[in-house]
Amino acid sequence: MTTDEPVIRCSVVRAQKLPQGVTAESICDSVRRAANPALDQAKLAPNALSVRITVESETKLTAAATLQGKSLPEHHVSISDRPLNARAVSMLANAIAADVTSARR
């Protein structure tokens, strides 16, 4: 099924390094769930945000995002004693959403 509706552009680089239970799709879904309300509040279309997640290792992610072509702060999330999990991904997604809110003030 395809749709012409605008969506947040999200890509995950080196997804093969993700631990079991975390997928590129689940990361992008988390980013979209967190950022869509911030974009709505700012009256911006979802495709105004582009996010590139890099999997550094099974314990660390880095995110670079742009909002309407302007770079937002880069974020890093890591867990020192176990592989990445849904909570770590959610923290990263919420940080990106907070940047969207801050950038529009």
Instruction: Judge whether 72 and 65 are in contact, CB under 8 Å.
Output: yes
Mean pLDDT of 66-73: 95
Q: Please name the fold of domain 9-103.
A: Double Stranded RNA Binding Domain (3.30.160)
Q: What string of H, E and C letters represents the secondary structure of 2-55?
A: CCCCCCCEEEEECHHHCCCCCCHHHHHHHHHHHHHHHHHHCCCCHHHEEEEEEE
Check pLDDT > 70 for residue 25. Answer: yes
Q: What is the pLDDT of residues 26-62, one digit of tens each?
A: 999 999 999 999 999 999 999 999 999 999 999 999 9
Mean pLDDT of 69-92: 95
- pTM assigned to the model: 0.91
